[in-house]
Amino acid sequence: MHESIRQNLKNIGRLSEEEIALFCSKLIEKRLKRREHLYQFGQVCRSVAFVETGCLRYYYLVNGKEQTGQFFFENSWYTDYESFLSENPTEQFIQAMEPTKLWLLSRHALYELYELNPKFERFGRIMAENAYLGSRKSKVMLQNMLPEERYRLLIEERPKVIERISLKYIATYLGIQPESLSRIRKRIFEGK
């Protein structure tokens, strides 16, 4: 098991080595090729995923066009929390943006861990809180900021997105057309 997941579990869940070993024993390795989907619209999300290497993005189709919700890089967790909890089909697509190595924890395995030790429930609560805060921040950004402000914030807070993601997908994340993003980038970089 890669050290990154062990450290992540220690930081988030304050788990002992024995608890980390138990948690890790439930994980299943999954590798995705660039542009391969982990889940597609209509499937049930039955696991949480830890990104060891690579990048995931989730997106929706809105009037036939992709709208990116978020990007997940190394050392981050992803799940479609609504589908995961309700066991209803997802409305998202989750796609690898580059070759990606994941560790999957099934819903069943997570609930087993919850029963075994309250520390695992704490871990689950922290993950849920982080998912809510991330979702809320994205929503506020899209509703309250101008496109140029959104892009500047992205440069400051998420440089990996700027470095590793195509402008086409960044534009869908910011809720603008690629041509608009090109004009914003030109203004920002000419202004320096």
Question: Are 175 and 80 found together in one domain?
Answer: no
Percent of the chain at pLDDT exceeding 90: 64
Percent of the chain at pLDDT exceeding 70: 97
The overall average pLDDT reported for the chain is: 90
Check if the beta carbon of residue 165 is closer than 8 Å to that of residue 98.
Answer: no
* pLDDT tens track for 134-167: 888 888 877 888 888 889 988 998 999 999 999 9
Question: Are 128 and 155 found together in one domain?
Answer: no
Question: Are 15 and 93 found together in one domain?
Answer: yes
The answer to whether residue 59 scores a pLDDT higher than 80 is yes
Helix (H, G, I), strand (E, B) or coil at 71: strand
The answer to whether residue 192 scores a pLDDT higher than 80 is no
Question: Are 125 and 152 found together in one domain?
Answer: no
pLDDT of residue 41: 95
Residue 90 makes CB contacts below 8 A (sequence gap 6+) with 39, 40, 41, 42, 43, 44, 45, 80, 82, 83
Instruction: State which residues form the domain around 162.
Output: 145-192
Question: Are 62 and 134 found together in one domain?
Answer: yes
The answer to whether residue 8 scores a pLDDT higher than 90 is no
Query: E-strand spans in the chain?
Result: 28-32, 37-39, 47-53, 56-62, 65-72, 76-78, 93-96, 100-106
Considering 124, 143, 162, which residue would you say is the last residue of a domain? 143
Within 10 A of 111 (CB to CB), how many other CB atoms are there?
13
The answer to whether residue 95 scores a pLDDT higher than 90 is yes
Q: Worst-scoring range by mean pLDDT, 3-7, 77-81, 91-95, 96-100?
A: 3-7
Residue 11 or residue 69, greater confidence: 69
Question: Are 35 and 108 found together in one domain?
Answer: yes
Question: Are 88 and 104 found together in one domain?
Answer: yes
Question: Are 110 and 17 found together in one domain?
Answer: yes
d(CA 48, CA 98): 19
The answer to whether residue 13 scores a pLDDT higher than 70 is no
